[in-house]
Chains A and B, each alone.
Chain A
Amino acid sequence: MTLLAVERIKLFSTRSPYWCSALALVLGVGLTAIIAASTDDGQLSIGVTQFGSSQLALSVVLVMAALAVTTEYRFSTIRATFLAVPNRTSALVAKTVVVAFIAGVLGEIIAFGSWGVAKLLSPASDLAINTGGEWRHVAGIGLLYGIGAVLAIAVGILVRQTAGAVAILLVWNMLLEGLIGIIPKVGTKIQAWLPFQNANNFLALPAGSDPGEGMAAGIDFKLSQWGSLAYFAGIAVALLVVALIVAKRRDA
C-alpha cells in the first residue's frame, strides 16, 4: 500500500497525466460528438459511440502510461526511486498498478461520456444498453485501457526513452497490426493472434446485430471474446515480466 501511495503522489505531482487525460477525453468524446452531430437523428447505434474511445483515445492513454516511466528515466528520478525502494520489482509493479487503475477509470469515463454525448445529440436513436454484448462494448473500454497501460509501461521500461517508446506503441497499435492484414492469405490469420486485434475482438458487437460495427472485420478469431481479452492481458503481463527482469538486472 505504501508503494501505491508513493506512485500516486509521484504521478499526480506532475502535469503530464492531467494533460494526457484531458486530451484522451476530448479526443474520445469529441469524435463521438462529431459523428453524432453529423448523423441523422435516429440512425446512431451503440457500435458507433466508441470509435473515438477505442482507437484515438486509447493511443493517448498508451502514451500517458509510457510517459509515466520514460520520464523517470529521462530525469533519472528512477534512480531516486530505486534508492528509496531497492526492490525494483515492487516499485515498478506499484507504478503499473496505479497507472493501469487510473487508465481503467479514465476509460470508463470516456466510454460512458461518449455514450452520453451520443444520447444527448441523437435522442431518437436506440442507444439503450441492454445486452451483455452492448455492456461489454461500452464498459469494456476501461479494461482495455488498463491492460493497454500495462503493455505501455512494459515497453517504457524496456526502451527507457520517451520518443522510442511512444513511436513503438503508436506504430504498433495504429499501423502495424492493421498493415499485416494486407499480406495475402496469411495476413488475417496472423492478425487473429495480434494483441490489439484481439482487444478489438473483445469489444466487437455480435455480427449482424449492429450494422454500424466495422471493427475487427474479416479476421477469423480463434478465441472467444473474453478469451481475446485474456489473451491481450496475457501478452501485456508477459511483456511486463520481461521488462521487470531486465530492469532488475540492468544498472539503474
Chain B
Amino acid sequence: MIEAVRLRKHYGRTKAVDDLSFTVRPGRVTGFLGPNGAGKSTTMRMILGLDTPTGGDVKIDGKHYTEFKEPLRKVGALLDAKWVHPNRSARAHLKWLAVSNKIPASRVAEVLEIVGLSEVAHKNAGGFSLGMSQRLGIAGALLGDPEVLLFDEPVNGLDPEGIVWIRQFMHRLAGEGRTVFVSSHLLSEMAQTAQDLIVIGKGQLISQTTTEQFISDATKDHVRVRSPHAVKLREILAADATITEDAVDGALVVHGIPAEQIGEIAAEHQIVLHELSPQRGSLEEAFMQLTKESVEYHAH
C-alpha cells in the first residue's frame, strides 16, 4: 500500500505537485492519470526517495522508501527505461542491482527469461530498441520479487504487441496480490489497464475512484442542439440542464435533458432546430474536459 498525505513539490515557482493525497491499494492495478506536466513523474520520484518533498509525506506500508534495507525486495520501479549505462550489458546491469540487494544471482537469468531478453542479455543496453529497454527496465523492477511495483508511462513508444504484453503483465502482478501503480497521460490506455484511477492535473488531485465509476461519470449522455435561436433556447433550457457550447461549430451541448424533451420544449416555443442529436460522450473528450483547467501544456 502506498499512502501520500498532502504531498507537495515545488521547483522554484513551479508547483509540480500541490497538496496531493491518495492511497494505492494492493491486489489491484491503480492508474495514475494526468496530462503531460501534471506531476506524475515527480510524485513517483518522491515515492522512491529520489526527490525530497517540499511538504507532506509519502510512505510505502508505513515506511519511507529510504528506510528499507533492501528496497528492491519491497518495491520495484521502472521510471525511465534509459537509466542504464549504454556500454554495460543487460546482464551486468541486472547483476549489480541483484548484488546490491543480496538477491541470488540465479534471479537475473529468471527475470531475463520473464521479459524475453535472455538471447540478448550479453549485449550492451545502448543498442536496445525502446521496447527492449522497457523490458530491461521491467526486469530490473521484478528482480527482487517485490510486493509493490511502480511504472511510469511504461507503454510510451511501444508497439501494440508490447502494449498488450505489459497490460497483461500488470494484471498478473496485481492478481498475485501485489500493489501495482502505473502512470499514463492517456485515459483510453488506463481504461483498459487500471481497476482504480487516481486522476491529477497541475499537481492536484482531480478524482480517486474505480475506473468503472470514473468512466460512467465521465461519459454521461448529452445532446447536441443547433438552432438559429440558440440564445433563446439556451435561456429556456438553462433552468433544468447544464449547457456548454461546442467550441468548433457553436452547437449547444446539453446535459441533463433527453433529446425528446428538448424537441418538445423547442416546438412549444416555436424554435427552429437544425440539429438534435443524442450523444454518448467519448472518454478522451471527458478527460480533456475534466483536466482542461489543469492542463499545463498540450501534447502535439
Contacts and interface: CB of A to CB of B under 8 A. Distances in A.
Interface in A64-96: 71, 75-77, 79-87
A5 B72 contact: no
B156 interface: no
B51 A251 contact: yes
A13 B88 CA distance: 6
A75 B49 contact: no
A2 B69 CA distance: 13
Contact of A13 (B49, B96, B101): B96
A83 B66 CA distance: 8
A240 to B, nearest CB: 21
B68 interface: yes
Interface in B53-107: 65-68, 71-72, 77, 79-80, 82-89, 92-93, 95-97, 99-102
Interface in B214-236: none
Nearest to B49: A86
Main secondary structure of the interface of A (DSSP, over half): helix
A222 interface: no
B140 interface: yes
A15 interface: yes
Nearest to B71: A86
Interface string A229-252: 000000000000000000001011
A6 interface: yes
Contact of B83 (A5, A15, A76): A76
A70 B102 CA distance: 26
Interface in A7-56: 9-10, 13-16
Interface string A136-170: 00000000000000000000000000000000000
Interface size class of A (residues with CB under 8 A): 20 to 34
B52 interface: yes
Contact of B85 (A2, A5, A14, A86): A14
User: Quick one: which of A5, A13, A14, A16 has the most chain B CB within 10 A?
Assistant: A13
A14 B88 CA distance: 5
A250 to B, nearest CB: 9
A99 B97 CA distance: 19
B72 A14 contact: no
B96 A76 contact: no
A80 B65 contact: no
Contacts of A75: 82-86
B48 interface: yes
Given A83-B48, A83-B50, A87-B66, A9 B79 contact: no
Nearest to A86: B66
Contact of A80 (B49, B84, B95): B84
Contacts of B100: 2-3, 6, 81, 84-85
A15 B126 CA distance: 13
Contacts of B83: 75-77, 79-80
Interface of B: 45, 48-52, 65-68, 71-72, 77, 79-80, 82-89, 92-93, 95-97, 99-102, 140
13 contacts: A9-B92, A10-B88, A13-B89, A14-B85, A75-B84, A76-B82, A76-B83, A77-B84, A79-B80, A80-B84, A251-B50, A251-B51, A252-B50
